[in-house]
């Protein structure tokens, strides 16, 4: 699968403070690709650089083979949904969206026909003559998505596309995003990691302006059965070594003090392995206070951010890289 977006050595400072710091990223074609990170990690700045709203201090951004910094932003190939998209309050939405297409050289009749088709995609076709002054927050969000879809872009950037939406509206937007994979690549930023886990094929974790891990969502979740144990105290190093030697135990990690994450082979013997592990812990006075599944993107990302940069899940696949 080819790369739609390639970012290499990207840097951006504001008043001497690095917002993007030697960032590298490779996004495959026809996928939903998630950007994850705490506030200030650089996600919105990265979107602004890719979308041409900001110029980097150094680095290369390529859309396919096109160097966006040298050759300029290609007309209509990138669709963008800012986190707080704004519209004229008293102008019919059909006229507003048609105007955007006409700026790109589309004839008036063709522009209106495409706008109506796009509004149908987001369920607003019957409201084309209304203005956003009469719209709810969820309707404005769907209108902003329609604007990002106009022109059949190759790459669509969505910054917090479901923020402020109720569960039903969120489900509608997620279905729209997933359906886009057949014709485009979607780069989406969100703090809702459960949502990203359900819609994304691949993700990249940003921290302090760098990609610290990237790859398929499945690589973050692991191939085996994973459990997190919260204990009454820390586990001695010699016991960790013994637990790692148990049959069908693939990995034992310490995500935080007095906690363990166990990764076991997805076999019929996994329960036996867990039993042996619990016996070994209890024998040394280590009592599990909670045992819960560890296969969530949120738990894996939080663990990764606490531990700092390390091996990159999925790096061998070439889906993404950080430094």
Q: Is residue 72 part of a domain?
A: yes
Residues 216 and 228 occupy one common structural domain: no
pLDDT at position 224, please? Answer: 59
Residues 162 and 66 occupy one common structural domain: yes
pLDDT at position 311, please? Answer: 41
Residues 205 and 230 occupy one common structural domain: no
CATH number where 284 lies = 3.30.2350.10
Cα(110)–Cα(117) distance, rounded to whole angstroms? 11
Closest CA to 132 of 170, 101, 95: 95
Tell me the pLDDT of the chain (323 aa) as tens digits: 578 999 999 999 999 999 999 999 999 999 999 999 998 899 999 999 999 999 999 999 999 999 999 988 777 789 888 767 788 888 999 999 999 899 888 999 999 999 999 999 888 999 999 998 899 888 888 898 888 888 889 999 999 888 888 888 888 889 889 988 888 999 999 988 888 988 999 999 999 999 988 989 877 776 557 788 999 999 999 999 999 999 888 888 888 889 998 888 766 577 888 899 999 999 999 999 998 877 678 777 877 776 654 444 433 333 444 33
pLDDT at position 321, please? Answer: 40
pLDDT at position 35, please? Answer: 95
Residues 178 and 240 occupy one common structural domain: no
CATH number where 177 lies = 3.40.50.300
Count of the separate structural domains present in the chain? 2
Residues 157 and 257 occupy one common structural domain: no
Residues 182 and 238 occupy one common structural domain: no
Q: Is residue 119 part of a domain?
A: no
Q: Is residue 116 part of a domain?
A: no
Residues 7 and 66 occupy one common structural domain: yes
Output the CA–CA distances (angstroms, integers) from residue 228 to 121, 252, 259, 280, 293, in the order listed. 42, 10, 7, 16, 6
pLDDT at position 315, please? Answer: 37
Residues 192 and 241 occupy one common structural domain: no
DSSP 8-state code for residue 91: S
The alpha carbon of residue 292 and the mean position of all alpha carbons in its chain are separated, in whole angstroms, by 24
Residues 258 and 281 occupy one common structural domain: yes
Report whether 153 contacts 76 (CB < 8 A). Answer: yes
Which tokens hold the place of 263? 């990764």
Residues 290 and 169 occupy one common structural domain: no
- Residue 252 sits in which domain range? 223-294
pLDDT at position 17, please? Answer: 93
Report whether 81 contacts 156 (CB < 8 A). Answer: yes
Cα(149)–Cα(216) distance, rounded to whole angstroms? 25
Q: Is residue 64 part of a domain?
A: yes
pLDDT at position 222, please? Answer: 64
Q: Is residue 264 part of a domain?
A: yes
Residues 159 and 268 occupy one common structural domain: no
Q: Is residue 195 part of a domain?
A: yes
- DSSP assignments along 112-169, one per residue: HHHHHHHHHHTT-GGGTTS-GGG--HHHHHHHHHHHHHTT--SEEEEESTTTT--HHH
Q: Is residue 96 part of a domain?
A: no
Q: Is residue 214 part of a domain?
A: yes
Residues 212 and 168 occupy one common structural domain: yes
């Amino acid at each position: 699968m080819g790369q739609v977006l390639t970012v290499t050595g990207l840097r951006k400072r504001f008043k001497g403070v690095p917002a993007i710091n030697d960032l590298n990223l490779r996004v495959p074609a026809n996928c939903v690709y998630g950007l994850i990170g705490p506030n200030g990690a650089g996600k919105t700045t990265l979107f602004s650089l890719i979308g041409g709203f900001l110029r980097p201090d150094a680095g290369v951004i390529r859309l396919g083979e096109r160097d966006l910094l040298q050759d300029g932003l290609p007309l209509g190939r990138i669709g963008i949904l800012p986190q707080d998209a704004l519209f004229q309050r008293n102008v019919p939405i059909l006229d507003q969206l048609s105007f955007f297409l006409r700026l790109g050289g589309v004839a008036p009749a063709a522009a209106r026909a495409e706008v109506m088709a796009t509004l149908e995609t987001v369920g607003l076709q019957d409201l084309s003559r209304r203005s956003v002054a009469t719209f709810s927050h969820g309707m404005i969000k769907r209108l902003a998505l329609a604007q990002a879809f106009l022109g059949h872009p190759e790459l669509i950037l969505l910054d917090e596309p479901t923020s402020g939406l109720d569960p039903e509206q969120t489900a509608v937007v997620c279905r729209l995003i997933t359906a886009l994979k057949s014709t485009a690549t979607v780069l989406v930023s969100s703090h809702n990691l459960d949502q990203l886990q359900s819609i994304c094929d691949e993700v990249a974790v940003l921290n302090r302006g760098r990609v610290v891990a990237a790859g398929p969502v499945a690589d973050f979740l692991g191939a085996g059965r994973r459990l997190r144990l919260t204990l009454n105290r820390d586990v001695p190093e010699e016991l960790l070594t013994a637990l790692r030697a148990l049959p069908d135990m693939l990995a034992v990690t310490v995500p935080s003090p007095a906690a363990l994450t166990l990764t076991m082979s997805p076999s019929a013997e996994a329960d036996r392995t867990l039993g042996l592990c619990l016996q070994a812990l209890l024998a040394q006075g280590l009592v599990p206070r909670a045992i819960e599944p560890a296969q969530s993107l949120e738990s894996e990302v939080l663990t990764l951010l606490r531990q700092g940069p390390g091996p990159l899940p999925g790096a061998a696949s070439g889906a993404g890289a950080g430094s």
